[in-house]
Structure 1
């Protein structure tokens, strides 16, 4: 039995859609522990949520490749398992499934003799492609058009950056009468490629400073601006955690990663892509608060969480039904406004890992008890840190309840891809003119931000006014719905 058949590696999977890395939060196993197919071995945090990873085969843990707190690229091996601890031959079915990855862009390479072996050790790879340990001989390539003729030796590729290697190789081939060598595709992670595209930087002209010749964000900034670029980020330690606060310390530094990092990028993108407009309205919600108390004792709502947010959500859904054009998105590629005939209602939730916005699917079709149940499950899952990446995708309109912090109002930023977000302020007892007299009433302020590319002032005003009117007179939930 060989080591390759006895030991199996489990690689960091892409647990979301297009994620490039994840942080190992906690290991549930240690070397020597026996594991079974489907057993959860660790918890990881991506840019969207915390997720538990199950192992895909039986065996004994041989090695944990990374410590807790380490950020690992998708495709990297994180745990090795001995699938034949008793010495029996390991079945082929026990092989760990390969991590899905897109095909690498084709790169023209010089011919190599069939007998030349690939160098051992870690090879530079793109995120999601895994790390290869070369140990077998390389198959001879067929001659390609424009390359050195058959029988002519090709010089070994020089070390250094891919661009420098290609240039040196081209020079030597020109001296021998060889053909053209195409420069390799620069190595960079997808977010860095997008940054370069946004800044108009050709990655082929960028000098990489990252490990194994990978282009970093700082490299792109340096190429884009004539002024000194931000200093290169130092390699992250194995365990990323806030520096311990010593006596007299004046600062604490917390790494920006995971959910907070993704939220920051999304908010910056939203703020500078969609032109925001925010409108405000202050409304007497005394009748709504009375209805909340009545519903708490209603047998149809028994065991369900009933609070003002539930009726605010229902009021907004009715307002969207009366003004369906607000429930839309902007399709820049096709130059279209896409009106959604369903409402996936996002609820902004503050968690220890940062702000997340899971959504209630098809909220428009739910009864009040169904909406209350979905809202309760969504909040409970978010607080436990178990919200899945899928639960945060596909939202159309969002509610953020800043009132729970005693805040009166704010100017919320749109969740990327959505057209509107409603902020609900604190509900307070205030003097209010009611039926011609000043009386103490329950009052709150609503703020609606919307994308002015597809929602004009009239439409946004109608949605906000309808929502406020329902909360002032909740019987409109029946007459307008």
Structure 2
């Protein structure tokens, strides 16, 4: 490891979940030049499971942010570099040889190639990532008026050289036309092994822009740069992509105004992060586990009265007390009476795994998509403890702070579709579980009560279960027990 590599340390995108392969950078909390310390949070990323804050594991000064916000980065890819010894002055492994070499001597101009090799191996241009000239070198050389010259990396120098003839270049890199009279000496040409072509250099663009172009299928050689010193920006790439898309979609005889009108009426959003993971999990669950859904409509008037009473109980002051709390408690009672519902199907080993604990999942809708964090060991919690855990779970999910650990290991789930005014549905089982209970809206309806039709608080429950390990009898018993507890909540005591 060279001295420069020891000084400039890279922080790579970690696997913050369970075998995740990528994450999207949501927000940077630091910028180049900021001082960071070991354990300081530098960015927030979104994985396929949740949004997570990443702390950096060493001290120093931020040297470079490798990717822009909104970029999806593979696990193991460096995302930030830090100067761990800023007091040593700015490192410029390429600048010194380039400035000291006589412009008219071709062999001397090629010497910096070896010094630049560690950076070129990572696909980065020295002048784009901050390894250029010392702070005193604030003025760049003017560029030649050739198309190829716009993409050439400028050579750092302490002062602008006097106009002179260009230095001899290798035949493979020599331009076909002579440079403009006032053009400076060309910078050392990288070896063919580094640039991969016969051109003098690759188009100038930062790594995030290069990745964006790759994702959009845009050849940077075809993009007209608009940035300073001929650097290609994100806007340039998007403009090129829009031009390509318009060319594909526009018929030869169709007016361009009609295409623009159609495009203005549509929105395209990349499927990634939590939403992508949810879609994959739901497809896998729906087409792997044979779903059966049963429904029951129940009078929950007594439960609603109990909720109102519990809200006034000093023991529950400050806690989240609502109908969902008692539905969760009713499901836990039903599981204790029918423990075989709390299981999972092990396809690899062809086994049914019965669990003596309940990690109760609560489906939560967030701006980033649906997530299902779970309350660990919910079966062992008292009503106040369950209320506290439920309130913390919901608050954390709404703030987007749910961790991957909070969403792993669930055994059974509740989805509260009633908050949207929905009566019932056929919920899809969360992967790795055997059942999911949907709690519908509580509405005032005419109901036969004690032989008379009266207005009562009524709701519909729907239980979807995996028919490979839960037969109709077991599923029906569980759903009937939940309904019985909600109809007469005193069973929370008698069945306990």
Which TM-score applies when normalising by structure 1?
A: 0.69
Could you tell me which residue of structure 2 aligns to residue 131 of structure 1? none
Report the Cα distance in structure 2 between the residues aligned to 1:434 and 1:270, rounded to whole angstroms: 40
CA contact (8 A) 1:69 1:238 kept: no
Could you tell me which residue of structure 2 aligns to residue 266 of structure 1? 281
CA-CA distance at 1:305 after TM superposition = 0.7
The DSSP-based 3-state class of the residue aligned with 1:86 is helix
Could you tell me which residue of structure 2 aligns to residue 409 of structure 1? 424
Compared CA separation, residues 78 and 307, structure 1 to 2 (3 A): same
CA-CA distance at 1:344 after TM superposition = 0.3
The DSSP-based 3-state class of the residue aligned with 2:445 is strand
Could you tell me which residue of structure 1 aligns to residue 62 of structure 2? 61
Report the Cα distance in structure 1 between the residues aligned to 2:406 and 2:368, rounded to whole angstroms: 16
CA-CA distance at 1:5 after TM superposition = 1.8
Report the Cα distance in structure 1 between the residues aligned to 2:285 and 2:345, rounded to whole angstroms: 12
Q: How does 1:222-301 map to 2 (within 5 A)?
A: 234=217, 249-301=264-316
Could you tell me which residue of structure 1 aligns to residue 71 of structure 2? 70
Q: Write the deviation string for residues 36-59 of structure 1: whole angstroms up to 9, x where unpaired.
A: 111100000000000000111111
Q: Write the deviation string for residues 170-210 of structure 1: whole angstroms up to 9, x where unpaired.
A: xxxxxxxxxxxxxxxxxxxxxxxxxxxxxxxxxxxxxxxxx
Could you tell me which residue of structure 1 aligns to residue 18 of structure 2? 17
The DSSP-based 3-state class of the residue aligned with 2:88 is coil
1:7 and 2:8 are equivalent in the alignment: yes
Q: How does 1:52-451 map to 2 (within 5 A)?
A: 52-87=53-88, 121-122=120-121, 234=217, 249-451=264-466
CA-CA distance at 1:3 after TM superposition = 1.0
Report the Cα distance in structure 1 between the residues aligned to 2:294 and 2:70, rounded to whole angstroms: 42
Report the Cα distance in structure 1 between the residues aligned to 2:261 and 2:320, rounded to whole angstroms: 44
Q: CA RMSD in A?
A: 2.9
Report the Cα distance in structure 2 between the residues aligned to 1:83 and 1:303, rounded to whole angstroms: 47
The DSSP-based 3-state class of the residue aligned with 2:297 is strand
CA-CA distance at 1:17 after TM superposition = 1.0
Could you tell me which residue of structure 1 aligns to residue 486 of structure 2? 471
Report the Cα distance in structure 2 between the residues aligned to 1:235 and 1:391, rounded to whole angstroms: 40
Count of residues in correspondence between the two structures: 349
Could you tell me which residue of structure 1 aligns to residue 127 of structure 2? none
- Structure 1 runs not aligned, ≥5 long: 90-117, 125-159, 161-210, 213-231
- Structure 2 runs not aligned, ≥5 long: 91-116, 124-195, 197-209, 220-232, 243-259
Which TM-score applies when normalising by structure 2?
A: 0.67
Could you tell me which residue of structure 2 aligns to residue 31 of structure 1? 32
CA-CA distance at 1:2 after TM superposition = 2.3
The DSSP-based 3-state class of the residue aligned with 2:329 is helix
The DSSP-based 3-state class of the residue aligned with 2:433 is coil
Compared CA separation, residues 366 and 18, structure 1 to 2 (3 A): same
- 404-413 or 248-257, which moves further after superposition? 248-257
Report the Cα distance in structure 2 between the residues aligned to 1:233 and 1:459, rounded to whole angstroms: 51
